[in-house]
Amino acid sequence: MKIAFVGKGGSGKTTLSSLFIRYLAAQQAHVIAVDADINQHLGAALGLDEQEAAALPAMGAHLPLIKEYLRGTNPRITSAETMIKTTPPGEGSRLLRVREDNPIYDACARTVRLDDGQIRLMATGPFTESDLGVACYHSKVGAVELCLNHLVDGPDEYVVVDMTAGSDSFASGMFTRFDMTFLVAEPTRKGVSVYRQYKEYARDFGVALQVVGNKVQGPDDLEFLRDEVGDDLLVTVGHSDWVRSMEKGRPPRFTRLEEPNRAALRTLRQSADASFARRDWVRYTRQMVHFHLKNAESWGNAKTGADLAAQVDPDFVLGGQAARFSAPQPA
pLDDT in tens, 297-320: 999 999 999 999 999 999 999 986
Q: Does some domain include residue 327?
A: no
Q: How many domains does the chain have?
A: 1
Q: Does some domain include residue 13?
A: yes
In sequence order, the 6+-apart residues with CB closer than 8 A to the CB of 26 are 114, 115, 116, 117, 254, 255
Q: Is the pLDDT of residue 326 over 90?
A: no
| Rounded to 5°, angle at Cα 133 from 132 and 138 | 75
Q: Does some domain include residue 317?
A: no
Q: Does some domain include residue 58?
A: yes
pLDDT digits (tens, 9 = 90+) for 207-265: 999 999 999 999 999 999 999 999 999 999 988 999 999 988 888 899 999 999 999 99
Owning domain of residue 190 = 2-311
Mean pLDDT value of segment 69-83: 96
State the pairing for strand pair 157-162/30-35: parallel
Q: Does some domain include residue 273?
A: yes
% pLDDT > 90, the chain: 70
State the amino acid at position 276 in one-letter form. F
Query: E strands within 171-311?
Result: 180-185, 209-214, 233-237
CA distance 20 to 269: 8
Can you spell out the DSSP letters for 166-210?
Answer: TTGGGGSGGGGS-SEEEEEE-SSHHHHHHHHHHHHHHGGGT--EE
pLDDT score of 126: 63
Instruction: Give the CATH number, domain containing residue 10.
Output: 3.40.50.300
Query: What torsion, rounded to 10 degrees, do the Cα atoms 308, 82, 290, 278 define?
Result: 140
Q: Does some domain include residue 318?
A: no
Average model confidence (pLDDT) across the chain: 90
**Rg of the Cα atoms in the chain:** 19
CA distance 34 to 45: 12
